[in-house]
Chain A
Amino acid sequence: MLKITDLSKRYEDGNLALDNLCLEIRRGKIFTLLGANGAGKSTAINIICGFIPPTGGDVWVDEISLSENPLLLRCKIAYLSENVMLYDNFTGYQNLKFFADISKIPATKGNKATNPAMKFNLIKVLRDVGLQDEFIHENISKYSKGMRQKIGIAIALVKDAPMLLLDEPFSGLDPKASHDFQALLYKLRNDGKTILMSTHDIFRAKEMADVVGIMQGGKLVMTKTRTELESEDLNRIYLDYIEERVVMENEE
């Protein structure tokens, strides 16, 4: 479960990227986040991941708070960005192996430190995400964008975290890979994982989501569930909001 309360972010240059964002995703659901360029989707995801500090508000994943225990919170999150680069001089396998090796859940009272990635057969994971065998032991520098993306997916997968944050994860994947990845996400959801995904692909957003949200000016301006959307044209709704934004800007 993910809960965001009054999250705000003002960059050093004074740009207000998040304006008291509130959002809640229940366990085992896919939430797709739509929004024009600069709406604040990436900013929100970056804050949850701890890449940048928020200027206000808080985030909870399974009752763990970002402000109180950021390290433990990160154990609960797997992240995939739109542009996976990785270590150029390592092979895909070496990259995956490295991130699998370091990801672990720290020891708590009564529990030893564990590494959930250990239970995966890494080669098999790489095949599952659709990487051709001949590239597994090839340097990443020889990969196409989509192939890197696949390694990024594999890294997120082996972390086996309950929450997945995906920032435009389909960018760069070919139709077949996209289709496979979509199927993989369904499977993960069925395994009980919570997924937050930002995208510009309205059709996929509607198709995949349990809940769709539209962001605008750092706020969540609309949320609709799958059933609510069934009879509606998401494309129309989205454009309406964007146009409304234009109107708002004109008023200022």
Chain B
Amino acid sequence: MNQIILVKDIRLMFKDLKFQIFFLILVVLFILSAISSSVSFISKQKSFQNERNRFNDLVADGQHIQLIQLLQNRMLMVASPPSPAVLFSEYDNYPDIINTGIMFYEPEFSNNNIGLRRMFRLNWLFILGMIMGLMMLIMSFEAISQEKRAGTLRLLTINGVKRQSIIWHKYISYLILYLIVIIPASMTSMILFFALTGTWSMTFMLKFLLIILISIPFASFFVWLGIFISMSKNHRNTIVMVMFIWAFFVVIVPQAAIIIAKQVSSIKTVIEYREIREQARYDEMMRQAEEENDIMSLSFEDFFALLASNINVADEKKNQALQREIEENMRQTRMIRGIAGISPFMQFVNISEIVFDKGFYLLNFQQETTKQAINQIKNLMIEQDSRDETSHNLLYSYAYVQRLVFNRRGETPFSEELFEHPHLLFVTEIETDDVPSKIMEILMKLIPILVLNLVLMVGAVGKFERLDIR
């Protein structure tokens, strides 16, 4: 590494108006993200606290039936305290799932486009996953063409700088630039968030730092892409090309993945599932009504009595149908993730889910186990008729179980241990894996982006080696 060239490249960028604007925008975005995340965190915390107080009251009064009803409806509110992870991303599509009453999986990319909606929320995911790539592209897409136009490429060459060295210095200087921008901006954002929300968590600070670290290969991908583009002959169209390439990787690929997956296996939304359920009920009723002679001859009261008596049977059928749908759903989700995985943005999202213990995998397979666990608690509570600490703990554990159904791995978390540390639920995030195996998993998931980097790097260096630099 030649320090003189590196310093030159970095200084050139600092003096570049593009860079100054870019720096300013990012600092502002990071600050805004801290503010907006803090607001949503605080409001969530408030409602969470309210719910918790209500439960405490109900526990104290020993009103178990009401308690359980409430829990069934609001399981999620109880079980997922707001976490500082909102600074990174909202991850808030859980309520949609729980509201259906039956646990099935709503993939990230549904008709409602939850995925896309999530992208445009002002948080770190938006900044690092979307804006950053565009900015690195815009910064670097003139890397070589500018030097070529200025004739400095010739002067560098004649002064003994090897071609490889020229391109590597450019690359390294863009990465340094990235860190120079991102570190102070993200630190400000983080500190602001902790200060505004009054939370402080070492774990989360480390997670945020880890995310910044993980974002480097993604930034690097766009830098190589920019350098590659900067060698193109027709430079007039490159800015359009840049925008298109960025949109391709960040927006088009994930959306295309949905469309393709939908073609391959049809997936339904929450609302569609609800309709199916209602339809199943109605059909079952009609079938039985037909068996019982002419439905039209029934009185209005009889009609409803019939409906009521058949609801259970219908529900059972519907559940079976749903179970099959769930499997289809899972299959499709994997497919979407697979296809969308070409997009660095989606890769980044997937890795972030490991870091923040989010995401959706395999959850339906735990349904039976979970139900059993929940019933166990219910029975225990009713048996003991307890208004004491134990029943309090039980409730939280109940909630905890429900919560973990939506955990990334879908392992049954129910164990005796939980009874002893109910408070954990409210203080920390649920840790699924130990840190080393998480790191391993992250490294594995980094392989695609590293491969993309390598491919572009080889392509760019090779192209530059053959470039006519007059």
A residues whose Cβ falls under 8 Å from a Cβ of B = 42, 46, 49-52, 71, 74-75, 77-79, 81, 83-90, 98-99, 101-104, 106, 155, 159
Contacts and interface: CB of A to CB of B under 8 A. Distances in A.
Contacts of A46: 470
B149 to A, nearest CB: 7
Interface in B255-273: none
Given A52-B468, A83-B151, A102-B2, A90 B12 contact: yes
Interface stretch (B158-166, B287-295, B330-338, B341-349): B158-166
B150 interface: yes
A78 B158 contact: yes
A114 B2 CA distance: 15
B151 A85 contact: yes
B158 A50 contact: yes
Contacts of A85: 149-152
A151 to B, nearest CB: 10
27 contacts: A42-B470, A49-B157, A51-B154, A51-B157, A51-B470, A52-B468, A52-B470, A71-B162, A74-B157, A81-B151, A81-B154, A83-B151, A84-B151, A85-B150, A85-B151, A85-B152, A86-B155, A87-B150, A87-B152, A89-B15, A89-B16, A90-B11, A98-B4, A99-B155, A102-B2, A155-B155, A159-B159
Contacts of A102: 2, 4-5, 156, 159-161
A102 B2 CA distance: 9
Nearest to A81: B151
Contacts, number: 68
A2 B114 CA distance: 69
Contacts of B430: none
B156 A77 contact: no
Nearest to B7: A98
Contacts of B156: 102
B469 interface: yes
B8 interface: yes
A110 B222 CA distance: 44
A-B interface, 10 closest residue pairs, ranked by CB to CB distance from nearest: A89-B15, A85-B150, A103-B159, A79-B158, A85-B151, A101-B4, A51-B469, A51-B470, A102-B159, A49-B158
Nearest to A85: B150
B4 A79 contact: no
A90 B15 CA distance: 9
Interface string B129-167: 000000000000000000001111011111111100000
Interface residues of B, number: 24
Contacts of A83: 151
Contacts of B154: 49, 51, 79, 81
Contacts of A103: 159-160
Contacts of B157: 49-51, 74
B20 to A, nearest CB: 11
Nearest to B14: A89
A188 to B, nearest CB: 17
A183 to B, nearest CB: 24
Given A79-B154, A87-B152, A103-B160, 8 more contacts: A42-B470, A49-B158, A74-B157, A83-B151, A85-B149, A85-B152, A86-B155, A98-B4
Interface string B219-246: 0000000000000000000000000000
A51 B152 contact: no
A52 B2 CA distance: 24
Given A83-B151, A87-B150, A74 B468 contact: no
A44 to B, nearest CB: 12
Nearest to A95: B152
Contacts of A98: 4, 8
B160 A87 contact: no
Contacts of B2: 102
B457 to A, nearest CB: 22
Contacts of B158: 49-50, 74, 77-79
Nearest to B8: A98
Question: B15, B16, B158 — which one has the most chain A CB atoms within 10 A of its CB?
Answer: B158
Contacts of A88: 150
Contacts of A104: 160
A42 B162 CA distance: 22
